[in-house]
Amino acid sequence: MKGLVGGGLPSVVVPIMAIVVDPAFAAAVTIMPVAATNLWQAVDGRLFISVLRRFWVFLLAMFLGVALGSQILVGLAPDTAALLIGIAVVALSPIPLAAHRFEISAARESTLNPLAGSVLGIVGGATVIFSPLLVYFAMLRLEKNMYVATASIAAICSMFPLYLGLGFSNTLTWDAVRFSSILLVPTMAGFLLGRALRGSISQRAFRLILTASLVLLGFGLIIKGFM
């Protein structure tokens, strides 16, 4: 999923692992896979500077939001948050495929970026669920490679305050880092396969696959919330 649509790694891994381990530990062990895949996608296609010029306000606001939200994560029961976010993701994901009136214009984008970055950062830091962020970028109707680069750079900006907060809470231990390095092997195998598939599909197909992926993520979160 990460290689194909540019996101979904923590949103898939953390809820599944949280069934058998502490949610904060599940978030901590994603550090190596998240870092490796996002750094790769951030520089792949040489779009790094273009993304920073367009989204620097969003990224700064999100960074601060994640720093706040990560402090909530340590003591947060994730079921209710997962349920509410899952409902929101399922409801919002099809919007980019609908009429152009749902498209966010450049003027609105500049106004919404700081607000969206702050809110999505707090939600992501508190739940390690960044699917709503992917929906926001999808509503901007970015070209597929621009979308993936933007999502990855946003993930990098959210990664530092999130894992820093987990480190201060003593959740990010050396045991978590060692286990994270093991998870890196299957992650990179799937990532490279997804990347190859993305290169062979059209923009329309990418948008359809992205929407379907987000909807499935949302339903998974809803099921976790009820469980």
Which pLDDT does position 123 carry in this prediction?
80
Predicted confidence (pLDDT) at residue 174 exceeds the cutoff of 60: yes
| Residue range 16-57, pLDDT digits in tens | 777 677 777 887 888 889 889 988 988 887 889 999 999 999
Predicted confidence (pLDDT) at residue 100 exceeds the cutoff of 60: no
Sign, Cα dihedral of 219, 221, 226, 227: positive
User: Residue 130 — φ and ψ, nearest 5°?
Assistant: -110, 15
Per-residue pLDDT, averaged over 189-217, amounts to: 85
Place of tokens 């099809």: 94
Question: pLDDT class for 96, splitting at 50, 70, 90?
Answer: low
Predicted confidence (pLDDT) at residue 216 exceeds the cutoff of 70: yes
Predicted confidence (pLDDT) at residue 156 exceeds the cutoff of 80: yes
pTM above 0.85, yes or no: no
| Residue range 184-198, pLDDT digits in tens | 999 999 999 988 988
Which pLDDT does position 99 carry in this prediction?
46
Domain that holds residue 135: 2-226
Scanning the chain, the segments in alpha helix (DSSP H) are 2-5, 9-17, 23-28, 31-43, 48-73, 78-92, 106-127, 131-139, 144-168, 174-198, 203-226
Predicted confidence (pLDDT) at residue 101 exceeds the cutoff of 60: no
Cα 153 from Cα 138, distance rounded (Å): 15
Mean pLDDT of the chain: 80
Which pLDDT does position 215 carry in this prediction?
81
Q: Which residue has the higher pLDDT, 36 or 80?
A: 36
Per-residue pLDDT, averaged over 118-134, amounts to: 79
- Contact, 8 vs 131, CB < 8 A? yes
Q: Considering the chain, what percentage of its residues have pLDDT values greater than 70? A: 81
State the total domains in the chain: 1
